Each structure stands twice: as structure tokens, then as C-alpha cells.
A and B are shown apart, each in its own frame.
Chain A
Amino acid sequence: MANKDENNSQFNSAEKDITEKEHSIHMFRQMLKIRKFEENVNQLYTSAKMPGLSHLSIGQEAVAVGVCEALRNDDYITSTHRGHGHCLAKGAATNLMFAELLGKASGYCRGKGGSMHIADQDSGNLGANAIVGGSAGIATGAALSAKMRGTDQVSVCFFGDGALGQGIIYEVMNMASLWSLPVIYVCENNLYTEYTHYTETTAGDITARAKAFHIHAEEIEGQDVRQVLSTSGKLVQRARSGQGPSFLLCNTYRYFGHHVGDINRAYYRTKDEENDWKTNRDPLIIFSNWMTSSGLLNDSDLDQVESEVQTEIEDAVQFALDAPYPKPEEVKKHVYA
């Protein structure tokens, strides 16, 4: 992560070669890490080792990684209930994430946040949020703060298509545009507002909602990490150079249900639809195919990444399983600063 910025700038430049290879491996690793992380989350849930529920973003990895790869470590993100991917892509460590999901003292939030509330200020993550649309104000406030403090930090607000129904999104977009704030609203349209197709809940044109505030808006294929990165890079540059907010609509799909317990989904979507996305629009397949066909990587390179990620995840799960629970006296700590 340390030389991410450098990689980014070279990746986007005409001179590619080794740096592009390294950066591509890094992005592939990040996406694979999210996928394997969440596969293990599901495993922990089904084997009753994880308390509560969890919302998986498998299928949406390219959005999280493409956007976060365009950011610096000191840039901000806010995330959602479906936020593991954002947190990992922004730089969170898998072991501390797993520990948090299991409610352990060594977790990111000392076990007090859980799956939907992971925050990591060291990587600019102002927190996942379990209120749909609830972090829009926070992300916009972080952008106002960056502007007031005279830094060139950028703030990204991730939210799903479901949040398009929340009024606060429009309140803060209005202010972001009025005050030309360095914030990017990234809407992950995974087609389903919980258990309802977004077309049943969302009137009109999504990007037109942002454009009505004179916010620069783009719509992209969210399954192609290269496209997400290049568009995000442009929007980040705009924000950093004082050209104000933007809105990025990423069309994507979640392979799993609304949460890990949402197994029988036939009443709201078909197996054929799920299989079509998994087969033809999978972000990992799209990106690995591009890497191999463009000669950047071969299958054994990919196998090596896979094996390294697998080891990291296994170690991280074990770390979390072995980690101690918080002590009872922890319950009253941190109510007040």
C-alpha cells in the first residue's frame, strides 16, 4: 500500500511495463482478498462461529478496489452495511477485520462495532454505517473539513441503490455542489434494494438526480476494475484540484443474498440471472482474463497470488478465532471521549 500513489500515476500513464504488472497484481490481490474474506465470513456464519448477520459484497469487488486504488491513504471513505470490501480496499487488515466480526477485543473496534461498523482511521475509513444513506453527511462533512483545513484530501461516500430513497443524500449533494466540496458519491447499483428490484423503488434516471445539482455524474460498468479505476482517478483529480463533487454510478451485482441468511431468493431474482453475472460479468474473471491476454501475467502468477491470499485469509481467520473476547469492564468504556 505504501507506494500505491506512485503505482497509480504510472499505471495511468503511457509508461506501463513492470509497474503496471505490479499494480495489476496488487489490484487482483485486493479483489481476491475481498472475495475470499467474505467466503470465509459466510463459512463462519453457517458454522455458527460468527455472531449476528453479515452482508456480503461478493460480485462487487471491482467497485471497492477500483475506487480505493484511485485514493491516497489520507483520503476518506465512508461505507455501508455491505462494507467489508470498501474497508479492505482502503487498507484494512484481514485479521483485525475478522476479529471484529467475531466480536473479539483485538478487532478494529475492540469488538464493539461488528460487521456493519468497521472504522479504521489509519486508512482513512470513517466507518461503515448500518443506516442506509446514514454516512452521506459524514462523507460530505469530511470533504468540508478538508477544504476548511486547506488540505487536498478527497472524501468518497459509498452507498447502494437503496440509499437513493433517503433524503439526506440529496440534502448533502446540494451543499456539496453549492460549496464545491471534494467529495465523490459512489452509488453501487447492485440491482436490489434488499429484496426488491431497484426499478420498483427508483423513479427516473439515477445520474440525472446528481446532475440536477450540477454535480458531474458518470455511469460505468462496475465489474471492470480498470474502468472503475480510470474513471475514479479522473473524478478524484477533479475533486483534489478544487473542481468539486461528482457522482459515480457503478452497475454491479451481489452474488449472495441481502445478508448471509438470505438463501432462498427465487421470489425476487432468478438463478439464471445470478449465473449470468457470475459467468459473464465476474470482476475477477474479467480482470484476470485481461491480464493474461495482454501478457501481463500468466496462470502461474495468478495461482501464486491465489495461494498467498488463501494463506493470509486462513491465518487471519485463525487469528480471530484464537483472539480473546473483550473483558466485561470494556462495556462501559468509550461511551464518552
Chain B
Amino acid sequence: MPESSERIITFSQAVNEALAEEMRREKTVFIIGEDVAEAGTPFKVLSGLVEEFGTERVLDSPISESGFTGIGVGAAMTGMRPVVDIMFGDFMTITMDQIVNQAAKIHYMSGGKLKVPMVVRTNLGASRRSGAQHSQSLHVWLSHIPGLKVVLPSTPYDAKGLLKTAIRDDNPVVIFEDKMMFQDKGNVPEDDYAIPFGVADIKKEGTDITLIGTSSMVQIALEAADLLAEKDISAEVIDPRTVMPLDKKTLIESAIKTSRVIVIDEGYDSYGVTAEIASVIAEGAFYHLEAPVKRIGAMDVPIPFSPVLEDLTVPNAGMVVEMAKTLCAAA
């Protein structure tokens, strides 16, 4: 990160800046989605964009996720670079035909002739007391589909740099932002920068155990690392930043170095991103491991409404610490 231009802004502002800068740079970039214009989305992430770019480039759509995602696909195939806004990650279910059967496959099915340079911006994460249909983390659904790229920014700096890369990419890219992070603050330089996909970020170096976190779980991993340090356990924390493509090399190298790994992701425990990463490490670092690769995901239940129940379903630093202590004691 360049030190020359220390500037603290929120995650939400970082996303907004990325969009504004890319829209200024490239006329074919436009935004389409529900309440994206004057409302700036319920999270106010897009506030001010319609004032600068007009309703021709910030299009308020009807509540038709399938329809306007499909329109994004068609526009992308014919010279535009749409950023499709899906208000809640849970609503990705409604777009699945357009993303999975259309956007992801068009380049391949056409023998490489057609391209779909489209970004889908949506979110993940529980803890907002929003109930089972506004709280899921469904990024693994998309990560399973060849032809898509899946991005999970964890800081304002990454949110901006990864979104810029997504907009400039010639493939369909789905970005999941944790809706609990929109007000998080961080250093974001004024300079134009983009972060390449498939390059993990080593957030903290350590020697005893590797904590691989995605999205807001990076913060959980960092908290856990601090707590573990008090117990003389040195944790390395890695953020893959994109799960498709996945920086396998960095993850495996860290596993070889520390010999113990916990993967933390807010998708469901079963069949999740954590399973894929654990498998990558098991294959790549098997003979260097002192303990089985462990996973922590969201509890396999529909996200409950009641705060006392909901909080039980989401990974937290305490869980990570306990698991890490067990793994390190086993050595």
C-alpha cells in the first residue's frame, strides 16, 4: 500500500469511488439495479452517482432481478460494461439462470467469440437481524461455476482495487461485499490502483498456525490472531481476496510453513468455500501438516431472526481461538 497518500475512508466510500472513477474513465460502464439512482441503494453505497452520471447511466430497475441481470448480460455482449446491483446476496437465487446458464457460458459456448464483461455487485453476511432471506452468504454457489470470477473484498482498500479490476475484466465477475462492513474505515490512497485477481494478501505473518479468512472473516481471523498471541501462539492470517481464481500457491506455502490451518468463511459449513480451500491444502501440504485442516463456517441452519439465535450461527474469534489452541496442543 503506498504510504505517500494516507487517507482514511469507509468501505462504502471506497466502492463508490471505484464506480465513479471507472465511469469517468470508460463511457460504457453503467449501473443497473433496484433503487440504485436517487436512493443510492438501501445501504447508500451509490449515493451521488446519479447526480454525476445521470439516470442514463445509473438505471433504477423494477424489482426484476432475473430480467435486469439478463439485460446486463445482453448489454455486456454488445459493447457495454454493466455493473448489475443485486440488493441482497439472497436475491442471487433469482438471477441464477442468467448468471449460471447465460453469462458464465456464453464465451465458451460461442467458441470464444462472444464476451460478457459484466460485474454483479451484491453482498453476504448475517448479523443484521434481517432473517433467513436477507442474511445468507451464497458466494460458493457462483464459485462452483466455470466461467465466473468471485471476489470477496475485506477492506476498503481491497473493495476499491478489486472492483476496478472487476470492471476492467472481460469476464462476468461477481463481487460479494459484507453488508456489515460498509462503514468500516481504512486507508485508501487517492491514486488510481487496481488489485489483480488470484493474489492472496498475507495480512499478518506467523509461524504456528495459518488462519485463512474471507470477507469479514478476515477481521475475525485477525482478532483471533491477537488473542492467540497473548497465549504465545503465532498465527499467520491470509485473505485469498478472490476465491475464483484462488491463489493456491500462497495458501499452500503458508500451510507448509505453519503446519496447521483453519479456514473461516461465512458460507455454510457444509460444501462451502472452506471445504474447497481445505482440500487444496490437504493435497498441497499433506506431508507438512501436524493436524487436520479445520473449517469454520456459518451453522448449517436457515439464519434465524432472534439475535440470541442468529449470533450462534456466525463464526467468531472465540471459536477460532479455541480451535487453534486445540490444534496447537495436539502437536
Q: Which residues of A are interface residues toward B (Cβ below 8 A)? A: 76, 78, 107-113, 117, 119-121, 126-127, 129, 131, 134-146, 148-149, 155, 167-168, 171-172, 174-175, 178-179, 333-337
For B28, the chain A residues whose CB sits under 8 A away are 148-149
Within 8 Å of chain A (Cβ to Cβ): is B109?
yes
Distance in angstroms between the alpha carbons of A336 and B116 in the assembled complex: 10
The reply to whether A172 and B111 contact each other, CB–CB distance below 8 Å, is: no
* B28, B73, B78, B79, most chain A CB atoms within 10 A: B78
The reply to whether A175 and B62 contact each other, CB–CB distance below 8 Å, is: yes
Closest-by-CB residue of A relative to B146 is A335
Within 8 Å of chain A (Cβ to Cβ): is B134?
no
Tell me whether A126 and B77 are in contact in the complex, defined as CB-CB below 8 angstroms, given that A168-B70, A334-B107 are known contacts. Answer: yes
The reply to whether A134 and B97 contact each other, CB–CB distance below 8 Å, is: yes
The reply to whether B101 and A134 contact each other, CB–CB distance below 8 Å, is: yes
The reply to whether A149 and B79 contact each other, CB–CB distance below 8 Å, is: yes
Q: Mark interface residues in B109-138 (1 if CB within 8 Å of A CB, else 0).
A: 111111101000000000000000000000
The reply to whether A127 and B69 contact each other, CB–CB distance below 8 Å, is: no
Q: What 8 A-B pairs are tightest by C-beta distance, nearest first?
A: A137-B70, A141-B74, A171-B67, A110-B111, A138-B74, A171-B64, A109-B111, A141-B71
The reply to whether A334 and B102 contact each other, CB–CB distance below 8 Å, is: no
The reply to whether A145 and B110 contact each other, CB–CB distance below 8 Å, is: no
Within 8 Å of chain A (Cβ to Cβ): is B66?
yes
Distance in angstroms between the alpha carbons of A129 and B30 in the assembled complex: 26
The reply to whether B67 and A148 contact each other, CB–CB distance below 8 Å, is: no
For A335, the chain B residues whose CB sits under 8 A away are 107-108, 146-147
Within 8 Å of chain A (Cβ to Cβ): is B56?
yes
For A109, the chain B residues whose CB sits under 8 A away are 109-111, 113
Which of A145, A174, A334 contacts B78, CB < 8 Å? A145
Within 8 Å of chain A (Cβ to Cβ): is B170?
yes
Closest-by-CB residue of A relative to B56 is A148
Closest-by-CB residue of B relative to A112 is B111
Closest-by-CB residue of A relative to B76 is A141
List CB contacts (< 8 Å) of B47-90 with chain A. 56-57, 59, 61-62, 64, 66-80, 82
Which of B79, B82, B111, B170 contacts A113, CB < 8 Å? B111
Which of A141, A148, A167 contacts B77, CB < 8 Å? A141
For B210, the chain A residues whose CB sits under 8 A away are none
How large, as a class, is the contact surface on chain B? 35 or more
Tell me whether A112 and B78 are in contact in the complex, defined as CB-CB below 8 angstroms, given that A134-B97, A141-B73 are known contacts. Answer: no
The reply to whether A337 and B107 contact each other, CB–CB distance below 8 Å, is: yes
A114 to chain B: closest CB distance in Å?
A: 8
Closest-by-CB residue of B relative to A336 is B171
Distance in angstroms between the alpha carbons of A144 and B84 in the assembled complex: 14
Which of A121, A135, A140, A143 contacts B113, CB < 8 Å? A121
Distance in angstroms between the alpha carbons of A140 and B75 in the assembled complex: 8
Which of B62, B102, B117 contacts A134, CB < 8 Å? B102
Within 8 Å of chain A (Cβ to Cβ): is B143?
no
The reply to whether B78 and A175 contact each other, CB–CB distance below 8 Å, is: no
Distance in angstroms between the alpha carbons of A337 and B70 in the assembled complex: 19
The reply to whether B102 and A337 contact each other, CB–CB distance below 8 Å, is: no
A50 to chain B: closest CB distance in Å?
A: 18
Distance in angstroms between the alpha carbons of A168 and B71 in the assembled complex: 10
The reply to whether A142 and B74 contact each other, CB–CB distance below 8 Å, is: yes
For B77, the chain A residues whose CB sits under 8 A away are 126, 138, 141-142, 145
Distance in angstroms between the alpha carbons of A174 and B66 in the assembled complex: 13
The reply to whether A175 and B67 contact each other, CB–CB distance below 8 Å, is: yes
Closest-by-CB residue of B relative to A117 is B109
Closest-by-CB residue of B relative to A120 is B113
Distance in angstroms between the alpha carbons of A143 and B72 in the assembled complex: 11
Distance in angstroms between the alpha carbons of A126 and B72 in the assembled complex: 14
The reply to whether A108 and B67 contact each other, CB–CB distance below 8 Å, is: no
The reply to whether A137 and B73 contact each other, CB–CB distance below 8 Å, is: yes
The reply to whether B113 and A112 contact each other, CB–CB distance below 8 Å, is: no
For B107, the chain A residues whose CB sits under 8 A away are 334-337
The reply to whether B70 and A108 contact each other, CB–CB distance below 8 Å, is: no
B31 to chain A: closest CB distance in Å?
A: 12
The reply to whether B66 and A142 contact each other, CB–CB distance below 8 Å, is: no
The reply to whether B115 and A138 contact each other, CB–CB distance below 8 Å, is: no
For A334, the chain B residues whose CB sits under 8 A away are 107-108, 110-112
The reply to whether B102 and A131 contact each other, CB–CB distance below 8 Å, is: yes
The reply to whether B71 and A337 contact each other, CB–CB distance below 8 Å, is: no
A74 to chain B: closest CB distance in Å?
A: 10
Distance in angstroms between the alpha carbons of A119 and B17 in the assembled complex: 37
Further pairs besides A141-B73, A337-B117: 12, Cβ < 8 Å: A112-B109, A113-B111, A119-B110, A121-B110, A121-B114, A129-B102, A137-B67, A137-B74, A137-B98, A140-B70, A149-B80, A175-B68
For A137, the chain B residues whose CB sits under 8 A away are 66-74, 98, 102
B119 to chain A: closest CB distance in Å?
A: 14
Within 8 Å of chain A (Cβ to Cβ): is B106?
yes
Which of A136, A149, A337 contacts B112, CB < 8 Å? A337
Distance in angstroms between the alpha carbons of A138 and B67 in the assembled complex: 9
B172 to chain A: closest CB distance in Å?
A: 9
